[in-house]
Amino acid sequence: MKPRVPVITVDGPSGVGKGMVTRWLAQKTHWHRLDSGALYRILALAAVHQKIPLDESARVAALAADLKIVFSGETEADEAIHVNGENWTAEVRVETSGELASQIATSPLVRAALLQRQRDFRTAPGLIADGRDMGTVVFTDADLKIFLDASAEARAERRWRQLSAKGTGVKLADLFAEVRLRDTRDRKRLIAPLAAAPDAVVVDTTQMEPVEVLDVVKALLQKRGLLGGQ
């Protein structure tokens, strides 16, 4: 019998800081990291490239089998995403790709097509899984389930600060509208809606600085004996 591979899941809405937390967790534990949102983004982009309408779910889902995806880099700055040998990093990360991903993610066929692919990331010594349904559907037996939350206002403002620092002239009101739209679609969909698993620890980060969030997460890990002597 194969030894059981441990998993920590981190779910939550867009812009809540899952990327920051899961990268930190992966560095601390030296476990693998699954960015499940990137898989949905890549599949949506592949459909757009092939001019397949996003609501033709069977055709979109069928594309998943032919995508050879390689993630590399540990930090946001050195992240690289190659699909079938091409560098898609920038395209995957733009805001509009998240919106396209959210549209295809409402389809059961699309979700089924990506399910095993996500589970395949669970290899020794362990996995940190980032997404919307990691704790509720994909890794229901996870060793620790964290659900990060924050008000839509706080998330839109954080994003606005990040983009403004990069010199992008985005309006806070537009970002807020986008966050609300994506939240509604991700939370209201019939299959695998964004929700905390009953056994998840919910951390509301609305009033917290990133370092405070990491302190809470670190304490959770220690409590579960998942951080060793660190």
Under the binding rule (CB under 6 A), the answer on residue 9 touching ligand DC is: no
Strands 201-204 and 144-149: parallel
Residues ≥6 apart with Cβ < 8 Å to 216: 203, 208
Nearer to ligand DC (CB atom), residue 115 or residue 227: 115
> From the CB of 16, what's the least distance to ligand DC, in Å?
9
Nearer to ligand DC, 14 or 29 (CB): 14
Minimal distance, residue 42 CB to ligand DC, in Å: 10
Q: Where is 112: in which H helix or E strand?
A: helix 108-119
Question: Is residue 158 within the footprint of ligand DC (CB under 6 A)?
Answer: no
Q: Give the residue, chosen from 21, 31, 33, 40, that forms a contact with ligand DC under the rule CB under 6 A.
A: 40
CB nearer to ligand DC: give 37 or 126.
37
Q: Which residue's Cβ has the minimum distance to ligand DC?
A: 37
Count the site residues for ligand DC by CB under 6 A: 15
Rounded to the nearest whole angstrom, what is the least distance from the CB of residue 99 to ligand DC in the complex? 7
Task: Determine the Cα–Cα distance for residues 71 and 124; give it in Å rounded to an integer.
Answer: 17
Q: Are 82 and 69 in contact (CB under 8 A)?
A: yes
Neighbour-count burial of 50, counting CB atoms closer than 10 A to its CB (0-12 exposed, 13-18 middle, 19+ buried):
exposed
Does position 12 interact with ligand DC (CB under 6 A)? The reply is: no
Nearer to ligand DC by Cβ, of 140 and 227: the residue is 140
Which of 186-191's residues contact partners 24+ apart within 8 Å by CB, and which partners?
186/13, 186/14, 186/102, 186/105, 186/132, 187/13, 189/105, 189/106, 190/106, 191/106, 191/107, 191/108, 191/111
Q: Using CB under 6 A, pick the residue from 132, 145, 155, 159 that binds ligand DC.
A: 132
Looking at the DSSP assignment, which residues form a beta bridge with residue 128?
A: 8, 33
DSSP one-letter code for 6:
P
Region 161-190 residues binding ligand DC, contact defined as CB under 6 A: 182, 186
**Binding interface with ligand DC (CB under 6 A):** 14, 36-38, 40-41, 98, 101-102, 105, 131-133, 182, 186
